[in-house]
Amino acid sequence: MAEADGNRTRQAEILSLTGFEDRGAHQDPDATAFNVADCPRGYPKGVNETQTSIPQRHDDAVGAVRLTGYAHGGGCACKIPPGELEEAVRGLTGQPGGQVLVGLDSGDDAAAVLVREDLAVLSTADFFTPVVDDAFDWGRIAAANALSDIYAMGGRPIMAINLVGWPRDVLPLELMTEVLRGGLSVASEAGCPVIGGHSIDDPEPKYGMAVTGVAHPDRLLRNDAATPGLPLTLTKPIGVGLLNNRHKQTGEVFAEAVATMTRLNRDAAEDAVAAGVRAATDVTGFGLLGHLYKMCRASGVGAVIDLKSVPLVDGARQALRDGFVSGGTRRNLDWVQPHIGAAAGVTADDLLLLADAQTSGGLLVVGEVPGYPVIGHTVVGEGIEIR
């Protein structure tokens, strides 16, 4: 008993020193005792602050555990459906504040607050259940996805904190260390320090980040700033939701899907800002159609999609033909279908592909960004036409 009490005291001390949320001792230290600096196979002390090195992977910690089997959904496909979410937050929009540049009203990717004439601070949070079985890759994907909200606003991430839910009596903490290590590796690539975080004991594993970023207020990318007559550029292929669902059900691993999801949207965002773009969003759980519809609705424009120009991840159409369509994708299509017009030859499968729930997808940019495919254009009016 004395030993257990000593361990709990030690855990509380560790948490108070590393920035993980338990400073007020308002929850059981056992539920947040994952300070990576104290894990036997964890990070060397100081790595969260300096981002100078990433510890080596320990495959014995990964073992044969299939993380996707511990979650009802996977990645951004586990989001609350867009229609339900909008209804839930309907009365929360329009909050006063002269310094709020972007709030809840347009459903943009991150909040933006003006702190001085040449500086806006951006804030976002994103987390989800396992999208792949590999713990390290899940951490990488979740971090890239959280950082993407800052890039989608034309910003630069400057700080992140971890958000973790972990079934500590079911899954080993070594696996959680792998998840955190994966997140740290991508944040390090982005030059964004990871400084502590918050965790809970949770029946389902969940991981993500809350990220703070900065941008010049005159160069913000917004989802309500689209104008008609401009090209639509997409910076990553779609279809990873289908492959993730196939992976969850069969265990097959799709390296290209993982590479796509872990790739930062940093370069695309910088290129978009340099090109003078003013409107953009990232494509995640609501699919290409859902996020395009939200941007068109917020901006008061319509759009045309050239189906043949939309890039796909290898294997996506095969996964579609084989029936690996997630419930989240079907809900996306149900939500946006009343606002879609499809030309002859556009099939129900084509629409499902365009509504596929992405995880850590690319940027959808109103304007041409050199080096990325143009998939359509904006028009006067409303709704989305698919040709």
CA distances in angstroms from 44 to 38, 40, 176, 177, 188, listed in the order given: 8, 10, 16, 12, 14
**Strongest mean pLDDT among 56-65, 93-102, 117-126:** 117-126
- Supply the pLDDT for residue 106: 60
CATH 3.30.1330.10 in the chain, residue ranges: 2-215
Does the structural domain 221-386 have CATH classification 3.40.640.10?
Answer: no
Q: Please give the mean pLDDT across all residues of the chain.
A: 84
Query: What pLDDT band is residue 100 in, cutting at 50, 70 and 90?
Result: confident
Q: CB of 267 within 8 A of CB of 363?
A: no
Q: Which of 14-28, 181-195, 227-241 has the lowest mean pLDDT?
A: 14-28
Q: pLDDT of 40-75, one tens digit each?
A: 323 222 333 333 344 444 444 455 789 999 886 654
Q: Specify the length of the chain in residues.
A: 387
Provide mean pLDDT across the span 351-374: 97
Q: CB of 365 within 8 A of CB of 235?
A: yes
Q: Of 119 and 41, which is predicted with more confidence?
A: 119
CATH 3.90.650.10 in the chain, residue ranges: 221-386
Q: CB of 77 within 8 A of CB of 328?
A: yes
In terms of Cα–Cα distance, which of 357, 199, 381, 375 is closest to 285? 357
Active-site residue, 39 included:
no
**The tokens of 21 are what?**
């949320």
Q: Kindly name the residue from 76, 78, 192, 296 that is annotated as catalytic.
A: 76
β pairing state of 231-234 and 374-379 = antiparallel
Provide mean pLDDT across the span 81-108: 68
For 2-215, CATH number out of 3.30.390.50, 3.40.50.1370, 2.170.130.10, 3.30.1330.10 equals 3.30.1330.10
Q: pLDDT of 167-212, one tens digit each?
A: 999 999 999 999 999 999 999 999 999 999 999 999 999 999 999 9
